Amino acid sequence: MNVDERLRLAIRNTSEVVTVEELRKVFEEKEKPRGYLGFEPSGLVHVGWLVWMFKVRDLVEAGVDFYLLEATWHAYINDKLGGSLELIRKAARYTRIVLDAIGVPEGRVKYVDAEELASDKDYWGLLLRAAKQVSLARVKRALTIMGRRVDEGETDFSKLIYPLMQVTDIFYLDLDIAVGGTDQRKAHMLTRDIAEKLGLKKPVAIHTPIITGLQGPGGRMGAGAEIDEIAAEAKMSKSKPETAIFVHEEAEAVEAKIMKAYCPPRITELNPVLEINKYLLFQQQGFTLVIERPEKYGGTITVEDYPTLERLYVEGRIHPLDLKKATASALNKLLDNVRRRISSDPDARSLLEELKTARVTR
């Protein structure tokens, strides 16, 4: 694969790359650059996570030596799964199984866990050097990366350490590329600034789009909010199970959730049903959306690409109910593999049952 092809794979289905020129340089200079994404293993996996999982698949194919950081300590700080590290580790095991089922098997990526990193004194040395370069106000502003508002950071002191741990993870793993959803933007921009001040490697940041929660944006953001703040507030999230479609859910449950989802006629902005089409379904090679309708409502149509779907929807030529039905059926097909994998693997089944009964919400 030449540099252009690698770059094309890395960039597709992203919301932002900081910067594309730097990424090109990384690919020009390195056959196997080091990339990473961190996640809090803190419960069940929802379809929003598939966006980054597919991106990991792209980057591995583009030759990136990819690290998946199981952010166990981070999940603990963020009060996930009742703060039980044992359950958090189980959630990490469950996530590996889902990744395997969607085409990211263990042999193609390297897993590291936060406990491993934190057991090295050099990690804490790096963290303190990073902390010297940043004000308390800037750390507080970065709390959106843990799905928290600024004032929530003051409930206990560990929360203020979290953003600096995320920065340190990147330096410690000596990364060329840091990947995360748009809501992770502040961590990466902070890392890039600190890298310049300390003369450390400045990672390229790749941000993937966010799928809005099924209940829609809710309108809580004030004017002037930044894109990552809107994403953090409106996203489908496992801590708010009513906003999310989980990858293990039965086909009927998936359909019922989509039929109830926020999907105002003609509106594309923060519309989760359209986003599922844009960021997941139409990202599959050769995908077409078949919208079945009786003749009197225009008959069945097959939509070949996302821009056409969006245009027809904005023009009012596709009714939300028809869009929802077609989307549910296509998403169910996409999820079939994962469901089959989970139901045929006893370890996955027992982890799933345990995580279902655990208190995921914070």
Ligand X SMILES: N[C@@H](Cc1ccc(O)cc1)C(=O)O
Site residues for ligand ATP per CB under 6 A: 39-40, 42, 46, 48-49, 51-52, 80, 147, 180-181, 183-184, 210-211, 235-239
Report the residue number whose CB is nearest to ligand ATP.
181
Q: How far is the CB of 287 from ligand ATP (least distance, A)?
A: 18
Q: How far is the CB of 148 from ligand ATP (least distance, A)?
A: 9
Distance between CA atoms of residues 306 and 264, nearest Å: 18
Q: Which is nearer to ligand X, 68 or 326 (CB)?
A: 68
Check the annotation: does 215 bind a ligand. Answer: no
Contacts 24+ apart (CB under 8 A), 263-270: 263/320, 263/323, 263/324, 264/216, 264/320, 265/316, 265/319, 265/320, 266/313, 266/314, 266/315, 266/316, 268/310, 268/313, 268/314, 269/217, 270/212, 270/216, 270/217, 270/234
Is residue 35 within 8 Å of residue 177, measured between CB atoms? Answer: yes
Q: How far is the CB of 337 from ligand ATP (least distance, A)?
A: 19
When asked if residue 69 is in the footprint of ligand X (CB under 6 A), the reply is yes
Is residue 203 within 8 Å of residue 177, measured between CB atoms? Answer: yes
Helix residue ranges, H only, 173-266: 185-198, 227-234, 251-260
Residue 41 contact among ligand X, ligand ATP, none, beta carbon within 5 to 8 Å by kind: none
Spatial neighbors of 19 by CB under 8 A, at least 6 apart, are: 204
Residue 156 carries which side chain, given as an amino acid letter? D
Residue 263 contact among ligand ATP, ligand X, none, beta carbon within 5 to 8 Å by kind: none
Check the annotation: does 133 bind a ligand. Answer: no
> How many residues make contact with ligand X (CB under 6 A)?
12
Residue 126 carries which side chain, given as an amino acid letter? L
Q: Which is nearer to ligand X, 75 or 301 (CB)?
A: 75
Q: Which is nearer to ligand ATP, 82 or 298 (CB)?
A: 82
Q: Which is nearer to ligand X, 6 or 188 (CB)?
A: 188
Spatial neighbors of 230 by CB under 8 A, at least 6 apart, are: 217, 221
Helix residue ranges, H only, the chain: 3-11, 20-29, 48-61, 72-77, 85-101, 114-118, 121-131, 136-141, 158-172, 185-198, 227-234, 251-260, 272-279, 306-314, 320-344, 346-357
Check the annotation: does 166 bind a ligand. Answer: yes
Report the residue number whose CB is nearest to ligand X.
38
Residue 211 contact among ligand X, ligand ATP, none, beta carbon within 5 to 8 Å by kind: ligand ATP
Residue whose token pair is 């793993």: 173
Q: How far is the CB of 182 from ligand ATP (least distance, A)?
A: 7
Q: Which is nearer to ligand X, 166 or 212 (CB)?
A: 166
Distance between CA atoms of residues 212 and 244, nearest Å: 9
Buried b (16+ CB within 10 A) or exposed e, 131-154: bebbeeeebbbbbbbbbbeeeebe
Residue 324 contact among ligand X, ligand ATP, none, beta carbon within 5 to 8 Å by kind: none
When asked if residue 209 is in the footprint of ligand X (CB under 6 A), the reply is no
Distance between CA atoms of residues 211 and 222, nearest Å: 20
Report the site for ligand X in 19-38 (rule: CB under 6 A): 38
Distance between CA atoms of residues 11 and 28, nearest Å: 15
Distance between CA atoms of residues 112 and 67, nearest Å: 7
When asked if residue 169 is in the footprint of ligand X (CB under 6 A), the reply is yes
Q: Which is nearer to ligand X, 71 or 358 (CB)?
A: 71
Check the annotation: does 283 bind a ligand. Answer: no
- Judged by CB under 6 A, the residue of 27, 40, 194, 246 near ligand X is 40
Per-position x/- string for 174-203, each x denoting binding to ligand X as judged by CB under 6 A, each - no binding: ----------x-------------------
Residue 237 contact among ligand ATP, ligand X, none, beta carbon within 5 to 8 Å by kind: ligand ATP
Interface with ligand X by CB under 6 A: which residues? 38-40, 69, 71, 74, 145-147, 166, 169, 184
Binding residues for L-tyrosine: 36, 162, 166, 169, 184
Binding residues for ATP: 238
